[in-house]
Chain A
């Protein structure tokens, strides 16, 4: 119950103010089609430089939580999901809005999000210290395999092609080696003076997530956004509360499914809503009503989306292994403040860690309260034309990456990586494993070198890295995740991959 000792810190004026800004801003950003939670958090990182570590993380955490929930606004009112995570919400939410029940759909969506989100953060609170204690037993070989596991799991599960996903991870691992070697001081792959200090993670994240989105908006050309914002009639909030808790089956299916999916590195919220929606439909006696504006569909999808947020941070805070692209961006936010998450995070920085987690808990409630009031404004912002959005994101990306260390080289790297990533994505490569490779590369290399030194002094390198129960378990998981993905790809039944699920759901809309 250590977290209770730091609960009051959330309500310090600056912290609470940032929590409010992050929550309201996140709701509006989340409602904007094309601005994914990952990209929104990446673009916000430069604004945290001048803040205390806990304050910066409060802003980023609140934005992460509320962008996921905010995506439901445009899904319900415009039939345009704010993020892939909200696709399942569109199926019943927009139909409800068409029937004049937009306010009810929004209320159910935010209430279910809050219930799922609170459950997910409670899991984070109670699982993290346990796992952190367990992680103390990890040596260099285990941490090396964990870093490789982070890249391979996301590479194989998050991509439509296992080989291209793993190849993207390899590119990320290679990019992480650019610059001066930490031990020997040797120059590696420095083809241009911009790269002499290596690739800074923050501009790389901004480039890899924001620039492909900007170019995708260019690709739409001079198209007018013809989505109609449906009007929202009044609906008593008390009735919505009773309905959410009256649909306990859908709520618990969404919450539990989202939490489990959140814990699995690489799977993330993109599919949590779809899987929960599917399960709720299968287990409901009213399954015929799904797709016709049934409240269970909205409740299951939205509770799952937010339930996955907390658990997706467990591997990050305990093992320094980000389990999702957004967690990787949050890791970038921690690193710029000199905080290295891991087993000793709660010993070295308990105030930062617990204030951040507590703020996410309070943020879920605020998101629910403000969501209902901001929905109308957010739906209007969601109608900002593509051309303006692309130009704004480009401007923020340029200024944001420059402000990291006042370096034009960072801006050049950001643009080069982002442009390259757009074209690679068109050929089936994926940004998520590349980012994970870039972030986990230094962890993998440092532990590989350290492990090799220990191995040379004690046994052989092979024996050190390939024997021992924990090593074998981790290697087993790496192999199993790749084998499972290959098997599913061969059988063309990879419905759990993000791209497939998104494509299928979009086709169904």
Chain B
């Protein structure tokens, strides 16, 4: 049926002649332009961030006190005496993130499986809002939760001698709690998207609920679940407030989760919070750290997109 929306097509053999010429549609054009602008702003913002990070980092690396080899090879970060080894900050960041993932992945996936495969309407209607509340708590609250609840708890469990007041374990666990809602909601979306026909096929073969959930539904949703995990890792690496409050204030090259250490993000906030003079090497150093952080999360996001594409199952 041609041109039903146009209203000016004519019956052959009668009425005015058929007009198929292009007509100006001003509203369409304006809205299209506006939508393009919205999209462009997000891209321009990203470009701007990269530009600023890049320029200041270049200034940092151009400084004669800094060389790339020491930056990526050094295990001491003491800007005051010209030591710029990134490793203390990187290890602390990865340690906190790993601990966070060790908490968030199993918990988040279990919650997702429960919500998608087991929970009835009632349980779901109670649990999901609670998870959303969890996601809405300001991270500064989480930070003090780590410092005033999790740390004392760890000190009771593992002993006061072993666990320092500021430590990455406490911060990591609480970051894990922070990203649980993210993992569980993204994973649940992926699990719920698995067609019911697969579940029925599984039940029809005499599989139990658990076998169906763990061995059919989760593998079928694997790409979505993996993507959720990686987004959560990015989020954990970038988390700032909790580590700034609970992990420690001073770069410390250690692999013990119970000792104080400073993450990349934590260091940036602490340094930039003080009386930092513009154009000093300290000032430029935080941009170098920021750039590295940006590259890490960017590559994780690219990895997650690749995983989603690579392992996506088509059911039709």
A, B: real partners:
no
